[in-house]
Amino acid sequence: KNDSIIEAIGFRIGSHLKRLGVHINFAPDVDINTNPNNPIIGNRSFGEDKENVTRKSAAFLRGMQKVGVMGCAKHFPGHGDTDKDSHETLPTISFSKERIAEVELYPYKELIKEKLSSVMVAHLNVPSLEPRDGYPSSISRDIVTGVLKEELGFNGLIFTDALGMKGASNFTGPGDIDLEAFLAGNDVLLMSGDIGKGIQKIEEAYQQSRITEARLAHSVKKILLAKYKAGLHRYKPVKTAGLTADLNTVEDKLLYEQAIANAITIIKNKGHILPIKDLEDKRIAYVSFGDDDGSRFLETLQKYTKVDLVKGDKLNELLVKLAEYNLVIIGLHRSDANPWKAYKFSDKEMVWLYEIARIKKVILDVFVKPYALLDLVSTENIEGVMVSYQNSEMAQEKSAEAIFGAIGTAGVLPVTSHTNFPLHTAVRTNPLSRLQYDIPESVGMDSRKLEKIDLIMQQAMDSAVFPGAQLLIARKGKVIYHKTFGKPTYDSERNVRLTDIYDVASLTKILASLPMVMKLEEAGKITLQSKLQDMLPELKGTNKADLTLLEILSHYARLKPWVPFYLKTLDSAPARPSPRYYRKTPSVEFSVKVAENLYLRNDYKDTIFKIVADTDLMEKLEYRYSDLPFIILKRYVEKAYNQSLDKLVWENIYKPLGANYTTYNPLEKFDKDAIIPSEVDNYYRYQTLQGYVHDMGAAMQGGVGGHAGLFTNANDIAKIMQMYLQKGFYGGKRYFKTETIDKFNKCYFCKNNNRRGVGFDKPQLGEAGPTCGCVSMTSFGHSGFTGTYTWADPEADLVYVFLSNRTYPTATNRKLITQGTRTIIQQLIYDAIEQ
């Protein structure tokens, strides 16, 4: 829809051509493609609306001409309404002269007004313009000279289409066809079947005075003028140094992405099924049609929520597998490598589509010409229909983003693709503020500077800081860096994957406990000044009774940093789990699973809380980070909601966000191989911890702690942090009020040398602290014992996620902290922001 993008594309293509030493581009195709069965034009044309084709062609030409590259309008007098390919035969245009003048010639008339440089004449049989039956337009004086030159007043260069094409070569032999083309009024004869014979025939005609000196000079002077305008009188050879880089720039990629994103067209949106909202209610399957690859489409869909690829050799088998889903996305993927490639649904695919749509809600996305939809008998049962036009990886990515509302859609159907979808059909959608996926330059960052991160990460792994990691950077709502490094363990055979999940330790505090506390505060159940004895009556009479929510979440309440609860449950010699507290198999009394083949006594959860309640306060009131507030608040939150914390955050936060990899006790949902090990425990559980929480206190609560226990990956954390950054809004859903986010992201005790927000960590007040010192004071985040970190900065509009298992094989490895890898990378991120 946006013609300025077309002009920019013309400019970039022109720049590439000039860099290559090319002076003319046989483009744009100005054919009005009014025939869906056209075998050769199709999506080479801008569509069937003559005014739209003309506007876009003019824009493209302006772009190229700005850099001094000639354009060429084709295929005169109009190849858009043919059902045959002039490469193979001579197609017939049977319209009246009046119709051709009104439709097919319209772009030429308008472009000639804008000083069109050249025109290419097609090989067509046009009886209304050339009375001789079967006489190709490319050699017709009535058409080339009579219509193009005299009636339309065109005085630019005139090219034939390739004379070796059968639409011309079947008429007469090499040499003769060249002569006839020149006599018709063409200036440049393209791709002669026999150059020598062509020259010979033209020389003979000149000598016989069939070609006059004036006629010859006319074309020669036009060609020389074109060469002069192209600068060939000051010819310089093409410099090959840096050529590949010059032809593959970041600017080119961004422009291509912009064009694709703006082209994607929604043509049916029954019940506002697009973009997909309310992820908590969706069980989504993806079914792939066609013979080309759709893997990038699926990969991108899966970044937003759980989407399963469902296959079946037979229809009944497929329908059985689809029974558990309530939404099916069907993608038609066929190659668009050239105009001859098949683009239609197979008969089998149409039957399968009708049957799936009969029993399921369906979004159909066609990555081919929109004409593919013409063969559908009915679209009644299909709720959503999208046209993505081509099956490139970029089209697949942007189409998936549009489906989930990361981007809006503004595309307009350029042709009639069905009786239900006429020309200009368009359903515009607005974005839902979900993360997009892009390159650094799209948000004003330098990818070359970010490459330094890769070096830092490799150096860290070489120094055994951690065996592997995930790293993600998002800015302005776009993930622009998302990579994995290393392996799950030092002796693993495979690399870390983007979907692998890590034990994120204390990130649990701001990703699980804090949001549920914020919801209770927002609902008026508590305030920041609420006292613990009022929230939990069992704390009355203890030294915690008068502590306020604000104080404990600001780590300004004299609470001890942590309590090693597990030590009291070990035998002294050797220090192994005591049979008094543990069993190797579960039973009615011993059902709290701490690790593999290790079950804790049920009543010990209450013992943990009693220990916390009875623990002495520290003598001095000062900032002291502590796990205890979140152990206390977990108990309060679960009582307030009468539900366990893991279920609460799943239902209220993770599921609607599409954070499907975020969970407590991941072995209940994921294969063990998808979980990164955290430590070889040789002091408590005596096993490799993989899928069981590293933190001992959280393990003793069945893996669900308020202070630790969460497993997730970088992509899911980015969704949660982006939601915070967007003041509680994400994916079309409001999770928190703006004022709630602001209230908790505030330092209330900065004057007391305490940097902390309410639950969130904040930038250091002096030199040392949790950040690089380069972030804004409105930024917030948290770090985790296992080697994890996340930080969001509203002023830079930036989210940073770092996940590692630095505690593997032993938690005594403190190199990540001493070397400052996380904050060194944070500094590099800020250095990459272009000023």
Q: How confident is the model at residue 173, as a pLDDT?
A: 84
**Strands 729-730 and 733-734, bridge-based pairing:** antiparallel
308 noted as active-site residue: no
pLDDT in tens, 376-416: 999 999 999 999 999 999 999 999 999 999 999 999 999 99
- Helix-strand-coil split of the chain, %, nearest 5: 40, 15, 45
pLDDT in tens, 787-819: 999 999 999 999 999 999 999 999 999 999 999
Q: DSSP secondary structure string, 742-797?
A: HHHS--S-GGGT----SSSB---SSSSSSS-S-S-TT-EEEEETTTEEEEEETTTT
Percent of the chain with pLDDT over 70: 100
Phi and psi angles of residue 364, each rounded to the nearest 5 degrees, phi first:
-105, 125
Q: How confident is the model at residue 167, as a pLDDT?
A: 87
Q: Which is catalytic among the residues 87, 218, 424, 482?
A: 87
Give the mean pLDDT of 448-475: 98
Say if residue 172's pLDDT is above 90: no
pLDDT in tens, 669-719: 999 999 999 999 999 999 999 999 999 999 999 999 999 999 999 999 999
Categorize the per-residue pLDDT at 222 as very low, low, confident or very high, splitting at 50, 70 and 90: very high
Domains parsed from the chain with CATH numbers: 3-234 (3.20.20.300), 250-432 (3.40.50.1700), 453-831 (3.40.710.10)
Give the mean pLDDT of 469-485: 98
Q: How confident is the model at residue 84, as a pLDDT?
A: 84
Distance CA 800, CA 201 (A): 72
606 noted as active-site residue: no
Q: How confident is the model at residue 536, as a pLDDT?
A: 98
Categorize the per-residue pLDDT at 835 as very low, low, confident or very high, splitting at 50, 70 and 90: confident
Give the mean pLDDT of 152-162: 97
Distance CA 192, CA 131 (A): 25
Categorize the per-residue pLDDT at 252 as very low, low, confident or very high, splitting at 50, 70 and 90: very high
Categorize the per-residue pLDDT at 272 as very low, low, confident or very high, splitting at 50, 70 and 90: very high
| Cβ contacts of 211 within 8 Å, gap of 6 or more | 182, 183, 202, 205
Percent of the chain with pLDDT over 90: 95
The CA-CA-CA angle for residues 398, 438, 722, to 5°, reads 100
pLDDT in tens, 559-609: 999 999 999 999 988 899 999 999 999 999 999 999 999 999 999 999 999
Average pLDDT over all residues of the chain: 96
Distance CA 37, CA 3 (A): 27
Which residue in 477, 511, 560 sits closest to 760, CA to CA?
Answer: 511
Helix (H) or strand (E) holding 639: helix 628-641
Cβ distance 58 to 71 under 8 Å? no
Helix extents (H) in 642-768: 645-649, 655-657, 696-699, 714-725, 738-744
* Paired tokens of 172: 């007469």
Per-residue buried b or exposed e for 338-377, using 16+ beta carbons within 10 Å of the residue's own CB:
ebeeebbbeeebeebbbbbbeebbbbbbbbbbbbbbbebe
Cβ distance 638 to 536 under 8 Å? no
Taking the mean position of all CA atoms in its chain, how far away is CA 815? 35
pTM for the predicted model, two decimal places: 0.95
pLDDT in tens, 286-339: 999 999 999 999 999 999 999 999 999 999 999 999 999 999 999 999 998 877
Helix extents (H) in 40-105: 50-66, 97-102
First to last CA, the chain: 32
Taking the mean position of all CA atoms in its chain, how far away is CA 639? 40
| Cβ contacts of 215 within 8 Å, gap of 6 or more | none
Q: Which is catalytic among the residues 29, 85, 161, 438?
A: 161
Distance CA 633, CA 637 (A): 6
- Orientation of helix 50-66 relative to helix 106-113, angle to 10°: 30
Categorize the per-residue pLDDT at 448 as very low, low, confident or very high, splitting at 50, 70 and 90: very high
Say if residue 1's pLDDT is above 80: no
Q: How confident is the model at residue 767, as a pLDDT?
A: 86
